[in-house]
Structure 1
Amino acid sequence: AAAAGLCLFVLAGNVWLAAAGAALWGVGAALAFPMGMSAAADDPKHAAARVSVVSTLGYISFLAGPPLLGYLGDLTGIHLALLAILAPILLALLLAGAAKPLKTKQAAETT
């Protein structure tokens, strides 16, 4: 949803398509951080360290992303600069399978 919404937003020919793209982009992107936190906290033995890594990556993205997009926007225009966000979205899509719940000992015994 995030990738489709971003592409629709950037390539839209009118404001209504851009608004629909922004909404779709937001709905898709809003799920990424909670999903990452949940997946990081699955293993109680390593939860604290994993959650700290996910939150650190989130804060780095939050702080470094806007200046990077501004710089790219100065070089190429803001619409093309926004397409740079497509790379991490597609990477997250490829890595989303790693966030599936861990099998617990109890669940492994019943299967």
Structure 2
Amino acid sequence: MTNRWMRGVCLASMLVMVSLPVGISQAAVQASVAPVPALTESQKKQAELAADTSQLQVLATELKAEMDKSTKDTLSLSVMRKADEIERLARKIRMEMKVSSAD
């Protein structure tokens, strides 16, 4: 799988190099590409909050799947650890939301 991916990347880069007109360097082509605008501080916080929320959803789904597998009398150590991780992440998200709403 990795070799296949590497071959694809090499082939794509060779096609780009071959398709460049004569006399135009790769640096000139890269310089002509518009720069990506920098994110503001609030946009960075929003993106981080969205990523944390997505991670929380994934962890909760995994915890539910593990809980469905266990019996009512037993809890595995991994279930307890995952629950602790969910709790920490939820607290982090709550604090970030409080800070962002205060701004």
Structure having the higher helix fraction is: 1
Fold shared, TM-score > 0.5 on shorter chain: no
Task: Give the structure-1-normalised TM-score.
Answer: 0.32
Task: Give the structure-2-normalised TM-score.
Answer: 0.33
